[in-house]
């Protein structure tokens, strides 16, 4: 019986909602088609439930403390003693003090990592084999790095302009129109590279055609805090006056402008569902915002120079040489301390990024970069159609072609992408028919006649006075209906007059009459 209940629960998870009520349908043909479709949905859900143990073999889990023990007191050394050998390979410190501080970025599959040292050191690493693919020195300042649609291309924000390189280190493009860029973001569904420069200008460039889609002044001065919402493609920029503005490439004005902090915004990050935004300010507060209502859900104490959400919703923030991780383990939209990690004294952390599909947090700091284990941060099972860490060159080429064919235009970037394809509601109200109007008038007159009259003193309660007051109430109830009828009659007269004037003129001159009437 337990196995049957478990199978029913799994089937319910894969069903596409509740089945339609086909008994109320009169059309036999439609009824038969929908019945066949519902049967197919049921079969596919049962098949998915049966092979779930092969499709989803791994289960996610978090650190669990015993007794009075706290999870945020557990050190990385204790975790290393309990995990398998492959996981211990993800705990390391690369010390390169001559080229730091370092920034880093992961591909969507989590297999490759790009590193950029402020002194000009660029490199790509294969995290599965722990091998260095390519490293080179550009001999000038590098402020940020970001992968494009796959690991073959990446963009680096250098001293004067951003450059695009391939994985062999060959310079492909110099994007001079962007200027001295401070932050880079890539919109993978739209193939747009978004940058913000020292002058506070936001640029959008299509990397497939090279076209500059948008170039806008934010109007709030220099900013190096920028993040893209993975849900809808909207880019959020944090400013020095405590505001966060959200932009889309087809609008010269921000779609949303919200006051988040009393001081400068130092970092921000979006949850993967797109509805949760974390912001950090100089007043030592980290706020979690619900973007559906633009309200603060929770305020955490602490300062953060960098923030990042994991695939499972853990929030990492870092300042100085300390990394703090918060988690919503109960699923109640309330974040509590989950883990912490202290770097060596003197290390200044500049960037934290969770590695997709792995319980790993990458840390870029002033002396190099490091990797620590954060149990429960990564999605345990990957979908090869979305991101495949083990994809072959042939699969990568096929995926690149499919993603180019499925490329979304910039106009699809909006706050609520569910509106795409929806029908705009008609604002024109339907006119009530004559019987409906007569029924409404009769109901209003009946309600006016039934109004209770107060009993007054002798001489003021005569039947004539009572009848007069009732007549006044009836006239008052009729007045709106009569005014509406008079207004409609006047409009219809004007319309008839205009039509008769147009009919008198020849067709070649009627267009001028229409323009005059509209004017």
* Domain shared by 384 and 318, yes or no: yes
The residue from 373, 398, 418 where one domain ends is: 418
* Domain shared by 82 and 51, yes or no: no
* Domain shared by 111 and 31, yes or no: no
* Domain shared by 24 and 109, yes or no: no
Cα 264 off chain centre by: 23
The confidence score (pLDDT) of residue 518 equals 44
Is the pTM for the entire model greater than 0.95? no
Q: Is residue 453 part of a domain?
A: no
* Domain shared by 43 and 139, yes or no: no
The confidence score (pLDDT) of residue 363 equals 95
* Domain shared by 115 and 144, yes or no: yes
The confidence score (pLDDT) of residue 519 equals 42
Q: Is residue 157 part of a domain?
A: yes
Number of domains in the chain: 2
Q: Is residue 184 part of a domain?
A: yes
Tell me whether strands 92-95 and 368-373 are parallel, antiparallel or unpaired: antiparallel
The confidence score (pLDDT) of residue 466 equals 76
CA angle 319, 323, 326 (to 5 degrees): 115
The SS3 call for residue 14 is helix
274: tokens are 């797109």
> How many C-beta neighbours within 10 Å does residue 496 have?
10
Collect contacts of 398-405 with beta carbons under 8 A, ≥24 apart: 399/150, 400/149, 400/150, 403/149, 403/188, 404/191, 404/208
Q: Is residue 392 part of a domain?
A: yes
Contacts of 97 (CB under 8 A, 6+ apart): 366, 367, 368
Residues in the chain: 519
* Domain shared by 245 and 163, yes or no: yes
The residue from 418, 453, 472 where one domain ends is: 418
Q: Is residue 218 part of a domain?
A: yes
Q: What is the C-alpha separation between 242 and 202, in angstroms, rounded?
A: 18
Q: List strand residue ranges (DSSP E) for 260-302, in order.
A: 265-270, 276-281, 285-290, 295-301
The 315-319 sheet, strands edge to edge: 306-309, 315-319, 322-327, 336-342
* Domain shared by 226 and 365, yes or no: yes
Q: Is residue 119 part of a domain?
A: yes
Contacts of 191 (CB under 8 A, 6+ apart): 149, 206, 207, 208, 404, 407
Residue 85 sits at φ, ψ, to 5 deg, of -65, -40
Q: What is the C-alpha separation between 278 and 302, in angstroms, rounded?
A: 13
Please name the residue that has the structure tokens 């596919």.
44
Tell me whether strands 265-270 and 256-259 are parallel, antiparallel or unpaired: unpaired
* Domain shared by 263 and 368, yes or no: yes
Contacts of 111 (CB under 8 A, 6+ apart): 126, 127, 128, 151, 389, 390
* Domain shared by 48 and 91, yes or no: no
Q: What is the C-alpha separation between 198 and 200, in angstroms, rounded?
A: 6
| 327 touches 338 (CB < 8 A) | yes
- The tens-digit pLDDT sequence of the chain (519 residues) is 566 777 777 777 777 667 777 878 888 888 888 888 888 888 888 887 777 766 666 667 788 888 888 888 889 888 988 888 888 899 999 999 899 899 999 999 999 999 999 999 999 999 998 899 999 999 999 999 999 999 999 999 999 999 999 999 999 999 999 999 999 999 999 999 999 999 999 999 999 999 999 999 998 889 999 999 999 999 999 999 999 999 999 998 999 999 999 999 999 999 999 899 999 999 999 999 999 999 999 999 999 999 999 999 999 999 999 999 999 887 778 899 999 999 988 899 999 999 999 999 999 999 999 999 999 898 888 888 888 888 899 999 999 999 999 999 999 999 888 887 776 665 555 667 777 777 777 777 777 777 776 666 666 667 777 777 778 887 888 888 888 888 888 888 887 777 776 566 666 666 666 554 444
Q: What is the C-alpha separation between 87 and 109, in angstroms, rounded?
A: 17
For residue 135, the 8-state DSSP code is E
* Domain shared by 47 and 182, yes or no: no
The confidence score (pLDDT) of residue 301 equals 92
The range of the structural domain enclosing residue 162 comes to 71-418
225: tokens are 């805090």
Q: What is the C-alpha separation between 226 and 237, in angstroms, rounded?
A: 4
The confidence score (pLDDT) of residue 449 equals 74
* Domain shared by 152 and 45, yes or no: no
The residue from 418, 444, 459 where one domain ends is: 418
Q: Is residue 160 part of a domain?
A: yes
Q: Is residue 489 part of a domain?
A: no
The 121-126 sheet, strands edge to edge: 102-106, 112-117, 121-126, 131-137
Instruction: Check which CATH number belongs to the domain holding 275 and give it.
Output: 2.130.10.10
């Amino acid at each position: 019986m337990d196995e049957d209940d478990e199978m029913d629960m799994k089937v319910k998870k894969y069903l596409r909602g509740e089945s339609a009520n086909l008994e109320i349908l009169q059309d036999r043909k439609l009824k038969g088609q929908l019945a066949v479709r519902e049967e197919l949905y049921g079969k596919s859900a049962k098949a998915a439930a049966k092979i779930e143990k092969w499709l989803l073999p791994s289960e996610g889990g978090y650190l669990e403390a015993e007794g009075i023990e706290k999870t945020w007191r557990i050190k990385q050394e204790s975790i290393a003693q309990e995990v398998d050998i492959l996981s211990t390979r993800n705990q390391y410190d690369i010390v390169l003090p001559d080229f730091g501080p370092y920034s880093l970025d992961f591909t969507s599959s989590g297999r490759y990592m790009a590193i950029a040292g402020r002194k000009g050191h660029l490199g790509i690493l294969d995290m599965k084999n722990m091998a260095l693919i390519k490293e080179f020195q550009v001999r000038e300042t590098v402020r940020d790095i970001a992968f494009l649609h796959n690991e073959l291309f990446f963009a680096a924000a250098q001293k004067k302009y951003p450059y695009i390189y391939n994985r062999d280190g060959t310079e492909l493009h110099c994007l001079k129109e962007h200027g001295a860029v401070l932050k880079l973001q890539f919109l993978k569904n739209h193939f747009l590279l978004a940058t913000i420069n020292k002058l506070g200008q936001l640029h959008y460039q299509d990397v497939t055609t090279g076209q500059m889609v948008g170039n806008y002044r934010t109007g709030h001065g220099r900013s190096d805090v920028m993040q893209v919402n993975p849900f809808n493609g909207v880019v959020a920029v944090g400013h020095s006056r405590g505001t966060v503005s959200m932009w889309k490439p087809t609008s010269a004005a921000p779609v949303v402008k919200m006051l988040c902090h009393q001081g400068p915004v130092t970092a921000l990050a979006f949850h993967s569902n797109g509805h949760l935004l974390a912001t950090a300010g100089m007043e030592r507060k980290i706020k979690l915002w619900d973007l559906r209502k633009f309200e603060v859900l929770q305020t955490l104490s602490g300062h953060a120079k960098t923030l990042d959400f994991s695939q499972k919703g853990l929030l990492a923030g870092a300042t100085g040489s300390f990394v703090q991780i918060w988690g919503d383990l109960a699923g109640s939209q309330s974040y509590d301390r989950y883990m912490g990690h202290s770097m060596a004294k003197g290390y200044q952390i500049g960037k934290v990024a969770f590695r997709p599909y792995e319980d790993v947090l990458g840390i870029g700091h002033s002396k190099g970069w490091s990797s620590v284990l954060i149990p429960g941060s990564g999605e345990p099972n990957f979908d090869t159609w979305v991101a495949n860490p083990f994809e072959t060159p042939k699969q990568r080429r096929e995926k690149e072609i499919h993603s180019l064919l499925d490329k979304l235009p910039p106009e699809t970037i909006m706050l609520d992408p569910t509106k795409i394809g929806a029908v705009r509601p008609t604002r024109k109200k339907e006119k009530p028919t004559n019987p409906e109007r007569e029924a409404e008038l009769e109901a209003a007159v009946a309600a006016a006649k039934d109004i209770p009259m107060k009993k007054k003193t002798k001489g003021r309660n005569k039947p004539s006075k009572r009848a007069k007051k009732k007549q006044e109430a009836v006239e008052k109830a009729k007045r709106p209906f009569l005014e509406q009828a008079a207004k409609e009659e006047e409009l219809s007269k004007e319309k008839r007059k205009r039509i008769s004037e147009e009919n008198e003129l020849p067709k070649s001159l009627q267009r001028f009459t229409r323009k005059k009437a509209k004017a």
